[in-house]
């Protein structure tokens, strides 16, 4: 978790990355949303298309994984409750 948070653009600007290092920004699930947030609040600009696509991709992956997880363990949750 700590490495994941250090790889998030909270203490550094996403514009500091160049070349293939920008891949780190999009592998991190919080990377696109935090870089879009900093472009809105710090730069006063709209998020780029790649940031929006990154946010949508991570939202879709999270939705599919979460849906699969809860549907596959639905019986266990019902038994415990």
- DSSP summary character for residue 43: I
Task: Please write the tens of the pLDDT for every residue from 22-37.
Answer: 888 888 888 888 889 8
Distance CA 50, CA 69 (A): 28
What residue spans define the domains of the chain?
2-80
pLDDT at 1: 67
Distance CA 26, CA 39 (A): 15
Task: Please write the tens of the pLDDT for every residue from 35-62.
Answer: 898 889 888 999 999 999 999 999 999 9
Helices (H), the chain: 2-6, 22-27, 31-38, 49-72, 74-80
Spell out the residues 6+ positions from residue 36 whose beta carbon is closer than 8 angstroms to its own: 47, 48, 51, 52, 55
> Is pLDDT of 5 > 80?
no
Q: What is the mean pLDDT of residues 6-21?
A: 76
* pLDDT band, residue 78 (cuts 50/70/90): confident
């Amino acid at each position: 978790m700590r490495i994941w948070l250090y790889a998030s653009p909270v203490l550094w600007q996403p514009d500091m990355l160049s070349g293939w290092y920008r891949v780190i920004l999009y592998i991190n699930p919080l990377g696109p949303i935090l870089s879009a947030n900093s472009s809105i609040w710090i730069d006063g600009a709209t998020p780029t298309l790649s940031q929006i696509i990154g946010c949508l991709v991570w939202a879709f992956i999270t939705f599919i994984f979460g849906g699969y997880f809860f549907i596959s363990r639905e019986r266990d949750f019902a038994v415990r409750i």
